Each structure stands twice: as structure tokens, then as C-alpha cells.
Structure 1
Amino acid sequence: MSKVVSPTAPANGARALSRPIRHRDIGLRRRYAAERRFRAYGIAAITFGLVFLIILVSSIVRHGYTAFVQTTITLPIEFSEKTIDPRNARASDPNVLNAANYPLLVRDALVKALSIDPSNRLAVRKATDMVSDSARVELRNRITADPSIIGKTVKVTFLASANIDSAYKREIDLTVPESNRKVSDQQIAWMKQLAADGALHESFNTGLFVSGNSSRPESAGLGVALVGSLYLMATVLVLALPIGVATSIYLEEFAPRNRFTDLIEVNINNLAAVPSIVYGLLGLSVFINFAGLPRSASLVGGLVLSLMTLPMIIIATRAALRAVPPSIRSAALGLGASRMQVVFHHVLPLAMPGILTGTILGLAHALGETAPLLLIGMVAFVTSYPTSPLDPSTSLPVQIYMWSNEAERAFVERTSGAIIVLLIFLVAMNIGAILLRRRFERRW
């Protein structure tokens, strides 16, 4: 007997089949919408971070680029023997040249250049305030280096005072009333006169890189901090790199897998997450209080930073060793190489790009540290260059911290300028790590 099919059966079947298809389409649309939202969130997060990064960098550059330019005043100085050595005793007593009244020479040159009445003490004081107090040291060093210029008139270039420097760089609003700014109307007129005569001008601030710290912002520099940072990085490189690489090779290639090595690995990972100030407390108690090493020495700072950087180098080196394919080890062992030969002749050279990258990044991280160095006393006011790692010194981040606490307004540009120098070093080190990885990296 034949089966009768209802005319409405195909339509009902079509509706039955279309229902799950619509549900499937709705599910796909929801997944696609969720994916689009996730991408939008990611782009928004990246944009948000870039905006704040641009604001931060632009703020630093806006306040700090003027630190690389210094205002100077060139004056014809008459090295009068009556002022420097009236008794003509310099042949028997060289200290006479050190005790001479050099500010008087600067005052006389300013009075003559600006046509000031010498009896007008207020005008004379305002004029001498335009020149940095470091002029005395400049003249003394010039005389002691060449006493033959006594009795002659020589043009000497001095640093302008901090207020005049800021005013000439337009960092001080000169349109406000005179009572609300540190530069008087008379000094502004003298600035224009000296600039018209070619005596007042701007030049590259070499003192920022060669001078030591100073209480006068116009003569303060990063020279001591740069040398101290160099000693710190050399100490970290000499100690942390060989110890970290040797530890990584032993743990990854030779150490047996047991509870003791597992405990070591866990502790190394934990040490990498310890706050840097804890390492400063460790250095203070061990290296200074117990071992008796000198406070504020760059050697102590290097030892503390080495302890802090060591776990990072170990983790990066182990990851680089682990990335070498096991087939390299098997092939070398199959050809009769010893375990030592396999590691040092084959595995280590292939892992060297990762090791160098991790080391450079660890050094960059150590270069930017401040907290542990503050605890071991590297905030000392150091004006002379350290001749060895045992001499008192400071570092770039600590120098930035010290300048940021100064009350003088002119230290703001010095602080931002020092931050720019530090950022240049950090960016250069990170670019170097990327280039080394791309140059020596091998894809398997």
C-alpha cells in the first residue's frame, strides 16, 4: 500500500531545517561581534598607552632640551697685578694666586662694558649677579695654569647666572611685573645690550656632560654620574654575566633533577620578583656594615646591582639554552662528543644571541635603578671624578633624584635634560639587544 504524503510536509520540513540554521547564524554573529569588540578593546588600550607615552616624552623634551644649551657672557678681563698680587709674592708663595680677589676683576669688566657708575652699588650688584659665581674658579684656574697673563687684558667667557640663562632662553615670562620675577628690567636692558655687542650668546652645554655636581644649576653637570654609572655597569658585567651563565649551564645541562635543584629553581624565580629596595637593604647590612666596604662607593653599588640582575640573567640564559633543539645535542653525542663538548662547542654558541639579549636587558634594568643605591649612600654630593670604584660616586638615576629635590627653578631643566640622557642610554641598549638577536638568531 503506497504512503500518502501531505502537501504541507515539505513546508514543515523546511521550517524544521531553517530553525537550527538561524540559531547557527546567530551564534556566528555573536562570536564575530565578540571578536570585533576584543580587537577594539586592544586597539583602544594601545592607543591609550601611546597617548600617555607621547605626553610623557613630549613633557620631558619640552622642559629638558634647553639644558643642552648654555648662555655665556664674554668679557675683556684686565688681569691687574694690583688686584691679583699687589705684593709681587707669587714667586715665593704660590697660594697668593689662589686667594686673589677674582670677583673684583669680573665686576670691573662689567662696569666698563655696561657703562655703570662704580659708585652706584645697587647697579653694580645687579650687574655682577648676571655672571655665575663659578667665574671666580674660572679665573683662578686660568691664572694658576698660565701666570704670564697677569698684567694683560684677555677675553674670557663665563657662564651666565641661572636667572639670566633662563630669561635668555625665554623660560621666564618677562611680561609680568618686575616684582614677580627674579630678573629686573635693568638686567633685561643689559642683556639686550650685551647680546647686541656679541658678548651674550648661547652655545652647546658641554658642562652638562663633563662637570660634576654643583649647588649652582648653571654649572652643575653629569660628569661624575656618568663615570659612576660606567663603574656600576662594569662591575655588574664582570660579576653577573659569568656567574649567571655558569649557573644556567649547570642547572640546565648537568644538574640532576631532584628536590634540591627544584628548590634552587623556585628560589631563583622568586628572587627575580623581589623589590629592588630589598637588595639595597641587603647591600647595606652585608657589604657596608659587615664587610666594611666604603659607603657611597660604586663598587658597593655594583655588587648590589649584580645581585639584583643575576636572577634575570639566569632565567634568560636558561630559556636560551632550552630553545636549542635536542637534535643538536643528540647529533653531537652520536658523533662521539663528550657532554662538555656538546655544551660548549654546540649548544652555547647557538644560545649566545639569547644570552646576550638577556644580559643587555638586565644591564639596562640595573642602569635605571635608584632605590638600592639610595640605601647604600650613593646620594653624596660629589664634585670630583672618582678615580676608582672605591671612591665616592653617584649614578645617573640618583643624580636625577637629587636634582629633582632642589629648590632652584633652573634645576627643572637640568633634571629633564638628565632624564633625556638616561633615556637615550636605555633606548640604545634595548636597540642593541634587538640588533644582536636579529644578527645571530637562527630559526629552526
Structure 2
Amino acid sequence: MNSTVAYVEERNPTDWQGDAMQKRIRKRYASERRFKALGLGAIVLSAGFLAFLLIVMVGNGLRGFTQTELPVEIDFPAMTGGASASQFEGNNGVANLQTLGLRDIVDASVQIQYGEQGTELFSNSGWQAVQSKILDNPEIIESKSIIYLPVESEIDVAYKGDGNATAEKKVAKLQDQLTTGFNTNFLTNSDATDPMQVGIWGALKGSLITMFITLLIAFPIGVLSALYLEEYAPKNRFTDLIEVSINNLAAVPSIIFGLLGLAVFLNLFGLPRSAALVGGLTLALMTMPVIVISGRNAVKAVPPSIREAALGIGASQMQVVFHHVLPLALPGILTGTIIGMARALGETAPLLMIGMRAFIATPPGGITEPATVLPVQIFLWSDEVNRGFVEKTSAAIIVLLVFLLTMNALAIYLRNRFETRW
């Protein structure tokens, strides 16, 4: 009798109070707890790696936004022979300073205060800092002034706690006079051979122009392609071949697009090398498949009832697509655009292939002038021997992350706005 009852309990799947069912339930709950623990562990591990990356980057990068300075007393009336402030006002100020021999004046003042070897303590760009101060306030040329000038790169690194023994001895002798100030040159200058002179403005401007060209070309062509393939194109082998080709293009390594840009835009069309125009065209080719795929999925997700209702009240096919389907699909399209543009912003390999690794000392003035972008600039600085470029590389990475977050935040805001609207 007991064996019959046990057999019935085992064979009856609805007997929730039976021993067999309770055992299975406990196993399910245990499996669920293990799965939750694994998921939580994965999140904690990912957050830990992200926190470690941010701490290291911010810790090293924040030092790149500062520079070590030494005070130099310059007797301008004695050094210039009594130059007046009016000579350096207006449009002729820079030209008059060039005839003044400002670099020799600064070197002489440094040697008077720090000895004959004093010029070795300072960056070669020190006289440029004096020039900027005179242009900002020409009246200092008529008096004796104390101006803080950036020190040599090794001393700067040593003062921040990561220098060699020779530089640390110099720092120990000058400890009471050394100060740290915000490095405005890092935000306004372009590339240079001296880490105390380098800046990210040239690369940042190049990235802005390149991303603008990429978005201007890839977004409208990608969206229109997605609309045509979903709403107008007939379903046959030719469209199936196009769909497979687009999916394959989205997975092609980025350096292949660099080779394509080199062969087509530079060798065939003869466009200028290292130009933001060529970089934008190359990245647009790489970004377009991602936008087409996300656009098709977003258009496909629009309920058929929307189309039927619009057609039922007399709308044309084009009105249905552009007045109803496209606005509803736009949030999904923007999501794909965010992913594609973020990928393009961080690309280096295709831009290296088209020559955007040149030494760019001045920001580009147009889309056809030589330019570089932030990822390439970071790559070039990371390969420098001078230790002063280490913190500049981390600082440039921070700028790149801020640029990426700003671009994504704007796109997410636009996406949410359309979602709220519809």
C-alpha cells in the first residue's frame, strides 16, 4: 500500500505537497539563487574593472592638466630699452614682439636669477608664456614683473612624484619656489615635441570635423536605405543578397575600410592626404551598415496597424512612411546611430591607413587641411620616450571619454524626446 502511494506521488505532477515535488522545487530555488549570485558577481566584477580603469586614468590624467612653474623676475624697462605699452596693443602687437627679441630677454633674466645653467630648468616654451602675458596686459612691459614660467619636463614629472634621481635633486633645491598651476596650454595648443607645450585642441577640432562629416553622410544614407529595403524593395534574391552584404559589412575589421579609403579616396579620387574629409568619408563607410541594420529593425518593429490606419484614411505610401513609420522608428534608429558613431569616434586603424597620423602643430582650418583625431593623438603620445607624455596621454583619454559621453548624452536626449513625443 505504501509503495502504491509513493508511486502515485511520483507520477502526480500536481501534488505540490509530495516529497518528490518539494525536492524539485528546492532544486529550482537553489538554481535560481546560484544564478542570481553569478549575475551579481558578474556585475560587481565588471564594475570593479570599470572603477579601476577610471581611477587609474583620472589619477594619471589629472596631472596632465597641471604644470609646474618657477618665478622669474624680468626687468622689462632695462631689458627692452624703455619700450612702451602702446607698441604691443592692437593688431601690430605680435609683430612688434617678434622684433623685441623676447626669447633672449627671458633667457637673460633666467640666467641672472638662476645662474648660467638656469635655462636648463625651464621649458623651451617659457618665452611664449611671457609673450601671452604681454599681449593680455601690455602695461607690464613698462615695469619690473615676476612671471611664473613652466619648468623642464623631467622636473615637472619629478615634482609630481614620478621622476628620476637627477630631476629629484633639482626639485629638492627649488622646493620652496616651485608651484603648480593649471595648464591652459593643454586645452588650447596642438601637438609638439615638448610635453610641456603639447595640447589637445588640434586633435579635438579634427575629431569634431571628422565626426560631423561622418554623421552628415552616414545618417541620411543609412536611414533612407533602411526605409527603402523595408518599405519599398521587393522581396527577391537580389534584396536578400543586399541584406547579407550589409550584415557582413558590419562585421568587417575596421582596417579594411582604411584600405578602401586609401585606394578610393586618395589614390583614385586624389583627395588630400590626412584631411578630415577623407577621414569622415572612411568612417562613414564603416558606420553606415550599423545604421542600416538598426534602422531596418526599428522600422520592422512599427506595428502594421499604424500603416493600415494611415492608408485607410487616404494617406499615400510616402506619407505613411515619413509621417508615421519614420517618427515611430526614430528612437531605435538613433540608438543604432549612437553605437555606430561611438565606434567611429574611437577608431584608429582606418585613420592611420589614410595618413591621419601626421605631426599636426596647428589646428585644421577646414575639411581639406591636414588634421588628426583624439584616438590617433593618444596613440602617438603613448609611443613617445619622454615620460612627460605619459600623463598627457591619460589626460587626452579623459578628454576623449568626456567627448564620447557628451555626444552620447545628446543622442540619448534626442531619442527620449522623440519617445515622449510619440
Partner of 1:34: 31
In 2, Cα distance between equivalents of 1:328 and 1:95:
68
In 2, Cα distance between equivalents of 1:437 and 1:144:
46
CA displacement 1:61-105 (0-9 Å, x = unmatched): 1111111222233423234787799xxxx9xxx999647754442
2:406 to 428, 436, 440: 428
**1:357–1:436 CA contact under 8 A, matched in 2:** no
In 2, Cα distance between equivalents of 1:19 and 1:347:
55
Alignment pair present for 1:215 and 2:190:
no
SS at match of 1:441: helix
* TM-aligned CA distance change 1:75 to 1:34, over 3 Å: same
**1:84–1:100 CA contact under 8 A, matched in 2:** no
More helix per residue: 1 or 2? Answer: 2
Question: How far off its partner does 1:255 sit?
Answer: 0.8
2:73 to 76, 82, 85: 76
In 2, Cα distance between equivalents of 1:139 and 1:15:
96
Question: How far off its partner does 1:402 sit?
Answer: 0.5
Amino acid at match of 1:185: K
In 1, Cα distance between equivalents of 2:168 and 2:160:
16
- The number of aligned residues is 407
CA displacement 1:334-381 (0-9 Å, x = unmatched): 001110111111111222222223223322221111110111111111
**1:78–1:105 CA contact under 8 A, matched in 2:** no
1:188 to 165, 168, 172: 172
Alignment pair present for 1:316 and 2:306:
no
Partner of 2:50: 53
**1:317–1:358 CA contact under 8 A, matched in 2:** yes
Give the stretch that moved more between structures: 206-215 or 347-356. Answer: 347-356
In 1, Cα distance between equivalents of 2:394 and 2:312:
59
In 1, Cα distance between equivalents of 2:133 and 2:413:
47
In 2, Cα distance between equivalents of 1:110 and 1:423:
39
* 1:232-381 alignment, distance < 5 Å: 232-381=210-359
SS at match of 1:129: helix
Amino acid at match of 1:213: D
Alignment pair present for 1:110 and 2:110:
yes
SS at match of 1:217: coil
Question: How far off its partner does 1:149 sit?
Answer: 7.5
Amino acid at match of 2:274: S
Partner of 2:120: 129
SS at match of 1:71: strand
Question: How far off its partner does 1:411 sit?
Answer: 0.6
**1:77–1:154 CA contact under 8 A, matched in 2:** yes
**1:81–1:150 CA contact under 8 A, matched in 2:** no
The structure whose Rg is larger is: 1
Question: How far off its partner does 1:109 sit?
Answer: 2.2
* TM-aligned CA distance change 1:141 to 1:422, over 3 Å: closer
**1:228–1:393 CA contact under 8 A, matched in 2:** yes
Question: How far off its partner does 1:154 sit?
Answer: 4.2
Question: How far off its partner does 1:413 sit?
Answer: 0.4
In 1, Cα distance between equivalents of 2:36 and 2:79:
80
**Structure 2 spans left out of the alignment, 5+ residues:** 12-17, 88-93
Partner of 1:6: none
* TM-aligned CA distance change 1:106 to 1:184, over 3 Å: farther
Amino acid at match of 1:188: A
Partner of 1:121: none
RMSD of aligned C-alpha atoms? Answer: 3.0
**1:213–1:383 CA contact under 8 A, matched in 2:** yes
SS at match of 2:121: coil
Amino acid at match of 2:235: R
Question: How far off its partner does 1:393 sit?
Answer: 0.7
Question: How far off its partner does 1:148 sit?
Answer: 9.3
In 1, Cα distance between equivalents of 2:8 and 2:300:
54
In 2, Cα distance between equivalents of 1:436 and 1:82:
59
Give the stretch that moved more between structures: 421-430 or 73-82. Answer: 73-82
**1:78–1:153 CA contact under 8 A, matched in 2:** yes
SS at match of 1:39: helix
